[in-house]
Amino acid sequence: MAKLALLSVSDKTGLEAFAQRLVDDFGYSLISSGGTAKALQAAGIPVTKVSDYTQSPEILGGRVKTLHPKIHGGILARPDEAADQADLSANDIQPIDLVVVNLYPFEQTVAQAGVTLAEAIEKIDIGGPTMVRSAAKNNKYVSILCKPSQYDDYLAELADNGGSATQAARQRYALAAFEHTAAYDKAIVGYLSQQPLSQQDADGSASSSWAMEGSVVSTLRYGENPHQKATWYQTGASSSGWAAGKILQGKELSYNNLVDLEAARQIIAEFAGADQPAAAAVLKHNNPCGVALGDSLVEAYKAAYAGDSTSAFGGIVAINRPLDAATAEEMTKTFLECIVTPHCTEEAKAVLTKKKNLRVLEMADLLTGPKETVKAIAGGFLVQDADDIVAVTDAWNIVTEAKPDAALRSELLFAWKVVRHVKSNAIVVTHNRATLGIGAGQMNRVGAAKIALEQAGEGTKGAVLASDGFFPFDDSVRNAAAAGIKAIVQPGGSMRDQDSIDAANELGIVMVMTGVRHFLH
């Protein structure tokens, strides 16, 4: 009796050639359902429709096709179990050797604009995951393929092993199948959890479980340090984010490059949009060395680089405008690891070729980032919403007698947008839409302020200062005023806020409290 293969696929890439090889080279008989059977018949490949094999029609508009004992009995039967074989014989069921199933395109559907809940629900596959799991469970005897990219590997496996897959191969396919269904279920949960009256309880409590799944983009040379292994995964059914970016030149991306690039993307996303001025951010080790806005991209880059030219050596640069030749020329004057831009002009590409190891990436969408952040801890992990709240200056509380005019308010907003992306405790000093001093990651706020003010030097005269957290005492306010700072933006919320307000009033400087804290650990 010929071996039996069940084919039921949504993604029909490579289907006809694969099925023809199964029949011609390895003697398989085929059964298929719905559109898969039609595609094979149209290609002249012999196939039996599932409904003919089971003698049960497809019902409920195709919702029920393969949920039948002749299908799942054939998949789950064990050749070395006499009772199983007796059941097959009694019910006229043929063993199924190979299951080829991929699922309804749920992720691709919900990614489309304007998709309704009803449309999404119809893309939740039922029979497909059941067949996949059945075959994966019985991998001692059955092979399961759930991706077109596995077809050539399976055919080679048959060719190398007398027409049968090895146990090791079947186990490998089974693992990939369970990963596939886990990712599918995660996508459904993720979508439904965002719908009204869905997974979230009325009181807003979280789901009782949370999972993350990804497919390998590349194995990295190493992690943060050479002794650490690292792998880059992408989430979702199609490439997005950095996995969708285009590397124009340079060495392959490292773990640290990717971490820094994401930090750079988050900063530059603050200034995304056609209504925003040109912006440039220079980063090192997850912290900005300099960030600036300008009337032109080259002006913004020069100002960002000048914010801390020493630390910028070996840094990452992100910009919010297409990279032009003039800016590219400036960038080649120092050693940089990576440049990321929405687009690189041909003239800029020609300039950058003189730095052959410089990594240059095009990423059209620098705005869209993850909705959640995940951090591993011993015995588990923490999940939180991304800190992507948009600053609304109308909600700020101006707590001092001195009030900011429109220009000063704009400068305070720029400083506030930058400080939220600096490791806590964080202080940023800015003037004329450019950072002059950044104090990052200090154990106390006084230390962070001291670093930022000293780095800014004489530039503090008439500058503004932003703090990611409140001032527990008035000492930093007094130090800032002594250096010439004319305005401070901070969250507020300390029991001793009034001490800071009183000091600001005494010293004649503006203080704005945002009511929002931006710790970044």
- Determine the topology of domain 393-513 in CATH: Cytidine Deaminase; domain 2 (3.40.140)
Catalytic residue among 3, 12, 137, 251: 137
From the CB of residue 376, how many other CB atoms can be counted at a distance below 10 Å?
Answer: 8
Whole-angstrom distance, CA of residue 68 vs CA of residue 129: 14
Q: Give the pLDDT band (50/70/90) at residue 71.
A: confident
Stretch 128-155: mean pLDDT: 91
65 is catalytic: no
Instruction: Report how far residue 303's alpha carbon sits from residue 151's, in angstroms, rounded to the nearest whole number.
Output: 54
Residue 214 reports pLDDT greater than 50: yes
Cα dihedral across residues 228, 229, 234, 239: positive or negative:
positive
CB 413 within 8 A of CB 428: no
- What are the backbone dihedrals phi and psi of residue 218, each rounded to the nearest 5 degrees, phi first? -165, 155
Q: Encode pLDDT of 187-199 as tens digits.
A: 777 777 666 543 4
| CA distance linking residue 122 with residue 111, whole number of Å | 14
Q: Cα-flanking dihedrals φ and ψ of residue 39, to 5°? A: -65, -40
Portions of the chain given CATH number 3.40.140.20: 215-362, 393-513
User: Which residue in the list 3, 285, 302, 349 is annotated as catalytic?
Assistant: 285
Mean of pLDDT values over 317-343: 96
Nearest-5° angle of CA 319, CA 323, CA 325? 140
- Stated pTM of the model: 0.74
In this predicted model, what pLDDT tens digit does every residue of 454-463 receive, in sequence order?
Answer: 999 999 999 9
Q: Where in the chain is the domain with CATH 3.40.50.1380?
A: 4-192
As a whole-number percent, the residues of the chain with pLDDT over 70 amount to 94
State the pLDDT at residue 81: 84
Nearest CA to 15 out of 53, 46, 43 is that of: 43
| Whole-number percent of the chain with pLDDT over 90 | 61
The per-residue pLDDT for 209 is 64
Contact 505, 400 (CB under 8 A): yes
Q: Could you give the CA distance from residue 121 to residue 73 in angstroms, rounded to a whole number? A: 28
Can you spell out the DSSP letters for 190-220?
Answer: HHHTTSTTSSS-TT-PPPS------EEEEEE
Give yes or no: 417 in active site: no
Spatial separation of the C-alpha atoms in residues 336 and 361, rounded to whole Å: 13
- Choices 3.40.140.20, 3.50.50.60, 3.40.50.2000, 3.20.20.70: CATH for 215-362: 3.40.140.20
Q: What is the pLDDT of residue 213?
A: 67
The CA angle 423-424-428, to the nearest 5 degrees, is: 75
Lowest-confidence pick of 49-58, 76-85, 125-134, 334-343: 49-58
Q: Count of residues for the chain? A: 521
Q: Put the strands of the sheet holding 48-49 in their side by side order.
A: 48-49, 29-32, 4-9, 98-102, 143-145
Owner of token pair 């400036």: 330
For residue 96, count other CB atoms closer than 10 A to its CB: 26
User: Locate tokens 């009325």: which residue?
Assistant: 202
On average, the pLDDT of the chain sits at 89
Q: Decide: 340 and 264 in contact? Cβ < 8 Å.
A: yes
Average pLDDT of the segment spanning 311-321:
95
| Residue whose pair of structure tokens reads 């700020």 in the numeric block | 396
| DSSP result, 32-92 | E-HHHHHHHHHTT---EEHHHHHT---BGGGTBSS-SHHHHHHHH--TT-HHHHHHHHHTT
pLDDT tens profile 462-516: 999 999 999 999 999 999 999 999 999 999 999 999 999 999 999 999 999 999 9
Which range (58-72, 160-174, 309-323) has the least confidence? 58-72
Higher-scoring residue by pLDDT: 125, 229? 229
**Architecture label for domain 4-192:** 3-Layer(aba) Sandwich (3.40)
pLDDT over threshold 60, residue 223: yes
Distances in whole angstroms, Cα of residue 60 to Cα of each of 39, 96, 188, 390, 437:
22, 25, 22, 46, 66
pLDDT bracket for residue 383 (50, 70, 90):
confident
Give the model confidence (pLDDT) of 136-149 as tens digits: 999 999 999 998 99
Q: 3-class SS at 466?
A: strand
